[in-house]
Amino acid sequence: MKMKKKLVGVVVGSTEGEHEQSVKEGFQIVEQINNSGKYDACVLEVLQDQPWKMHYGSECADVDKIMFKAKIGGHTLKPEVILIQTRGKLAESGELQAFFDREGIPFSNSGAIQTKHTNNKYEAINMLRGIGLPVPRSLLYKSFDIPKHDELVDRIEKRIGFPCFIKPNTGNGYNIMWMLHQIFLLISAT
């Protein structure tokens, strides 16, 4: 294992039901990066309440998060740049970005503060609207405060129109997003 090229860490994982899919896609990204011949790449698997794992080639080791390194094949590996490909809360909380900021390692995606503030879609839309940017029309309802069906349909028709999307306000809405083309579909989605 001879490291000459910059090592790219592809960070994967999810605290929701998408963890395995995220890891699988991470390995596909690493393969593409390695095949380019420009960089070496490894998968950094982020696990909730467990040590992070570094996968390099066919080997795997725990990541020392204090030094942000892992020993694999007798070599100490430390990614020099990070490609964040996590999903769900891991992707949207800003915690990973804050970690890499503290480590001084450049990473893809938004910064920690921007990521944290845009996690709440309704607040982000209103903030962007407040500075004059065009944003989609939206409605926000708490699960305990959704109006009766006829009133809800009326509000959607007046404010947004059809088709429209229904999605949770925070988080990524793993498997929880509907595109409604017609009024009667609202009954099955809510």
Assess whether pLDDT exceeds 70 at residue 181.
Answer: no
Check if the beta carbon of residue 85 is closer than 8 Å to that of residue 25.
yes
- pLDDT, tens only, 33-67: 999 999 999 999 998 788 999 999 999 999 998 99
H runs (alpha helix) in 1-109: 19-36, 89-92, 95-103
- Token pair of 91, please? 């992707």
pTM of the model: 0.71
**Residues 123-148: b if buried by 16+ CB within 10 A, e if exposed:** eebeeeeeeeeeeeebeeeeeeeeee
Assess whether pLDDT exceeds 90 at residue 79.
Answer: yes
